[in-house]
Amino acid sequence: MFKGKKILITGGTGSLGTALTRRLLSLDVEQIRIFSRNEYKQISMESELNDDRLRFLIGDIRDEKRLVRATEEVDIVFHAAALKHVPKVEYNPFEAVKTNVQGSQNVIEACLANDVERAVCIGTDKAVSPLNTYGATKLLMEKLFVNAQQYSNPKIHPTKFFAVRYGNVFASSGSVIPRFIDQIKKQEEITITDKNMTRFSITMEQALDFILKATEIGNGTEIFIPKLKSYSLEQIYKVLSQLAETKNEKIIGIRPGEKLHELLINFDEMRYSWEFENLYMILNWQYNDNYLNTNYPGIKKFDSTETYSSNNTEPLTDDELKNNISNLGLL
């Protein structure tokens, strides 16, 4: 699927973009275009990866014209650029609409203009029944992508648009584990919002496997969701204090815009949710048995009367959590 392809990654210098670039380079792609704003991040990535299949395009996804140029002759687009820090987005909501919503529409327009084969947007559990502005803008991004098919007659524009949705990447920038580790190193109190808080857990490698698998099997209009385990803040605190041999906690209370538990599939979406190729999938298009069996051989209804939430999914064991934390090499 990826061999010999030209790929563009919006937000290619970010944590996901960089990891995805490394993985795709190992899959014999012809070219990867990294699309982002900050030249310094691009220079660092260019010298670190040092691969002549990489092209570094300065551009802002708010600029449709630039995106149309950037996607010429591209086969696959991964749309990862976003404003993603919940408090920042809460404080600057107009900016988040420009980047996460209008920017996503621009990506779609550019893909349609250049007949890109596949366009995948990177979504988040925070978009499910969203409580904060970040989640709401990412919900709109998903909606724009899964409904983009309506703007394209498949006989004229072949682009398949779909979304992937997953939870916090384990120890990604700004997340709770690096923050706790930083506090431990500075011998500060570990600031816990609520010990009962739970989150889905996905490592970067799992996220890459999942995104590439979804990209291969997507027919357009789907939201793909991985099968994930979860952890609680109490468990993180317990495991980290064992590893660092320290105990110093302060409960600060849940912050505005934060949920106690995250959802990957809400109650109403469950009606349209399926299991296919070891992933969950929400379908957003008219479908009948014939369509399903032709396009998704072996598909099964995801039969659950509950939501798919971080507090009703299997938790990681303490050993799995310890292992994941140790593998980070941060302690």
Ligand X SMILES: NC(=O)c1ccc[n+]([C@@H]2O[C@H](COP(=O)([O-])OP(=O)(O)OC[C@H]3O[C@@H](n4cnc5c(N)ncnc54)[C@H](OP(=O)(O)O)[C@@H]3O)[C@@H](O)[C@H]2O)c1
Residues binding ligand X (CB under 6 A): 10-11, 13-17, 36-38, 41, 60-62, 80-84, 99, 103, 122, 124, 138, 166, 168-169, 172-173
Q: Which is nearer to ligand X, 23 or 62 (CB)?
A: 62
Q: Which is nearer to ligand X, 20 or 296 (CB)?
A: 20
Give the 3-state secondary structure of residue 5. Answer: coil
CA angle 72, 78, 83 (to 5 degrees): 110
Q: Which is nearer to ligand X, 206 or 295 (CB)?
A: 206
Cα–Cα distance between 239 and 331 in angstroms, integer? 12
Give the 3-state secondary structure of residue 325. Answer: helix
Q: Which is nearer to ligand X, 15 or 311 (CB)?
A: 15
Least distance in angstroms from the C-beta of 68 to ligand X: 14
**Angle at which helices 133-147 and 103-113 cross, to 10°:** 20
Per the annotation, the verdict on 126 as an active-site residue is yes
Torsion 17-142-8-60 (CA) sign: negative
Q: Is the CB of residue 123 less than 8 Å from the CB of residue 165?
A: yes
Least distance in angstroms from the C-beta of 126 to ligand X: 8
Residue closest to ligand X when measured from CB atoms: 14
Q: Is the CB of residue 108 less than 8 Å from the CB of residue 161?
A: yes
**Burial of residue 303 (number of CB atoms within 10 Å: 0-12, 13-18, 19+):** exposed
Q: Which is nearer to ligand X, 59 or 220 (CB)?
A: 59
Q: Which is nearer to ligand X, 82 or 296 (CB)?
A: 82
DSSP string, 113-152: HTT-SEEEEEEEGGGSS--SHHHHHHHHHHHHHHHGGGG-
Least distance in angstroms from the C-beta of 37 to ligand X: 3
Cα separation values, 152 from 109, 145, 294, Å: 10, 12, 21
Give the 3-state secondary structure of residue 323. Answer: helix
Q: Is the CB of residue 84 less than 8 Å from the CB of residue 141?
A: no
Least distance in angstroms from the C-beta of 111 to ligand X: 15
Least distance in angstroms from the C-beta of 236 to ligand X: 15
Give the 3-state secondary structure of residue 54. Answer: strand
Q: Which of 5, 6, 84, 126 is catalytic?
A: 126
Least distance in angstroms from the C-beta of 13 to ligand X: 4
Cα–Cα distance between 315 and 317 in angstroms, integer? 6
Question: Catalytic amino acids?
Answer: 126
